Amino acid sequence: MEWREVVEHPSLKDLPFKIETNEWGKIMMAPASDTHAVCQGIIIRWFNRRERQGMVTPECPVETAKGTKVADVAWRSLAFIKKHGMRNVSLPESPEVVIEMESPSNCVAELEEKSSSISK
């Protein structure tokens, strides 16, 4: 599935968990806990208090060679926003800062793979 199809699919709009795609377009599910959401909020508040030359966002979809990966928190500069705009279904490249929080369901190999695919 292409990411636009995932985003626009009526049966996927209100899922209570995060989804991504792998390199074959297969939907991968990643349930998030309330603790996960609280940590995202703390990180976003930290950025908002310190950084005025860009924008911080949660759940940022980034196109990679291995499918669409969704960073828990991302920060993009004004130059990045000018280059890519603000109304993308997903970003064609990684913003300057992406943060992925470890969840109990993550294994080390999974986190390393996601980290390396988003940062390219």
Tell me the average pLDDT across 2-25. Answer: 78
Q: Is residue 56 part of a domain?
A: yes
Tell me how far apart the alpha carbons of residues 63 and 70 are, in angstroms, rounded to a whole number: 9
Q: Give residue-wise pLDDT tens across range 37-92.
A: 899 999 999 999 987 799 999 999 999 988 898 899 999 999 999 999 988 899 99
Q: Is residue 120 part of a domain?
A: no
Q: Is residue 31 part of a domain?
A: yes
Whole domain around residue 17: which residue ranges? 3-110
Residues 97/72, Cβ–Cβ less than 8 Å: no
Our count of domains for the chain comes to: 1
CATH classification at residue 87 = 3.90.1570.10
Q: Is residue 43 part of a domain?
A: yes
* Residue 8 pLDDT greater than 90, yes or no: no
Q: Helical H runs in 1-107?
A: 3-8, 34-50, 78-84
Q: Give residue-wise pLDDT tens across range 27-38.
A: 877 767 788 889
75 or 116, higher pLDDT = 75
Q: Is residue 53 part of a domain?
A: yes
Q: Give residue-wise pLDDT tens across range 94-112.
A: 999 999 887 766 677 777 7
Q: Is residue 26 part of a domain?
A: yes
Tell me how far apart the alpha carbons of residues 66 and 108 are, in angstroms, rounded to a whole number: 17
Q: Is residue 25 part of a domain?
A: yes
Alpha-carbon distance values, 2 to 9, 85, 103 (Å): 11, 20, 26
* Residue 16 pLDDT greater than 70, yes or no: no
Q: Is residue 116 part of a domain?
A: no
Alpha-carbon distance values, 33 to 14, 19, 20, 26, 104 (Å): 16, 14, 16, 23, 10
Q: What is the pLDDT of residue 94?
A: 93
Tell me how far apart the alpha carbons of residues 58 and 60 are, in angstroms, rounded to a whole number: 6
Model's pTM, two decimal places?
0.75
